[in-house]
Amino acid sequence: MTGVTILLVDDHPVVREGYRRLLERHPGFRVVAEAADAAEAYRLYRHHSPGVVVMDLSLQGVGGLEALRRIRQWNGEARILVFTMHQSASFALKAFEAGALGYVTKSSAPDELVGAIEAVSRGSRAMSLDIARDIAEERVSNQPSPIEQLSPRETEILRLFASGIPADEIATQLCLSLKTVQNYHYQIKSKLNAKTDAGLVWLAIEAGMIRSEARAE
């Protein structure tokens, strides 16, 4: 396999530099661009048309799920690998639902990331071993996360809300009307059977979408 061009999306410059060096040691990989947020990822994808996007989910403002959705709207054939700290079966399933071909956690060995990029570049699905195990355990236990009831967009709105972002700011970030965001908020509470906004926050924490200390900040 030769000539896989890569767009790296992560909001930490030092992290991007480390992974760029790791990937470019592989003779078949070339990092053609780096993005720090969803808007930049979308712009650079359209400019470079990389073979694979390696994307974190935890971005400042609009998260990786929304970035993934926007890129896939532009190009339904885009090959996107989520590379994230979120070891959550429900979050991984949402990423696949939004159009990702792969999901690898940052606790995985470097060889797993390299192998996943190779697989995704060929159009195949890829998962790190820990995520594959978590999804299997969830299925066997027959106790799916409540988050599975949500669409990728509803999941992103829940994540933003649970992170303490006001509704009007969410509307601006997602290019939606305030009324639409309020309707989504109501639908999410109804689907998750959450009686209060605090209940929504705890559901997001339990699903691994945010850390409890992040809400406290």
Q: Do domains 4-140 and 146-216 have the same CATH topology?
A: no
Instruction: Tell me which CATH code domain 146-216 carries.
Output: 1.10.10.10
pLDDT digits (tens, 9 = 90+) for 44-68: 999 999 999 999 988 887 888 888 9
Query: What radius of gyration, in Å, describes the C-alpha atoms of the chain?
Result: 17
Structure tokens at 70: 């926007």
User: Which of 67, 112, 68, 111 has its CA nearest to residue 87?
Assistant: 112
Fold of 4-140: Rossmann fold (3.40.50)
How many other CB atoms are there within 10 angstroms of residue 6's CB atom? Answer: 24
The pTM for the full model equals 0.79
Handedness of CA 48, 12, 130, 138 (dihedral sign): negative
Residue 5 to residue 199: CA distance in whole angstroms: 43
pLDDT tens track for 181-216: 999 999 999 998 888 888 888 888 877 777 554 444
Domain ranges of the chain: 4-140, 146-216
The count of residues in the chain is: 217
Which residues partner with 29 through β-bridges? 4
Which of 171, 170, 158, 138 has its CA nearest to residue 201? 158
pLDDT band of 217, cuts 50, 70, 90: very low
pLDDT of 81 reads 97
